[in-house]
Amino acid sequence: MGIELGIAALLAAGGAGLNYYNTSKTEKKQDKALAQDIRNQGKKRAETQALTNKEIEKLTASRSADEKEANLAQYTDAIRKAAGNATRGLSGGMGGERFQQDAADASKAVTAFGNDRANTISAIDAPIDQRFGEGVSFGNLGVDIGNVTRQAEDQHFLDQLRLKGIKRNPWLDIASAAMSGAASAGIGSGGGSSSVGLPARGMPQ
- Nearest CB to another protein, comparing residues 156 and 185: 156
CB of 193 to another protein, least distance (A): 34
The answer to whether the beta carbons of residues 42 and 143 sit under 8 Å apart is no
- Nearest CB to another protein, comparing residues 64 and 195: 64
CB of 67 to another protein, least distance (A): 10
- Nearest CB to another protein, comparing residues 32 and 108: 32
CB of 71 to another protein, least distance (A): 12
Q: Name the nearest CA neighbour of 54 among 156, 132, 140, 149.
A: 140
User: Phi and psi (nearest 5°) for 196?
Assistant: -100, 15
Phi-psi region of 13 (alpha: psi -120 to 50; beta: other; left: phi over 0): alpha
- Nearest CB to another protein, comparing residues 4 and 125: 125
Residues that bind another protein (CB under 8 A): 20, 23-25, 27-28, 30-32, 34-36, 38-39, 41-42, 44-46, 48-49, 52-53, 55-57, 59-60, 62-64, 117, 120-121, 123-128, 130-132, 134-136, 138-139, 141-143, 145-146, 148-149, 152
Cβ atoms within 10 Å of 3's Cβ, excluding its own: 10
CB of 27 to another protein, least distance (A): 5
CB of 166 to another protein, least distance (A): 12
Q: Let me know if 118 is exposed, middle or buried by CB neighbors in 10 A (0-12, 13-18, 19+).
A: buried
- Nearest CB to another protein, comparing residues 1 and 46: 46
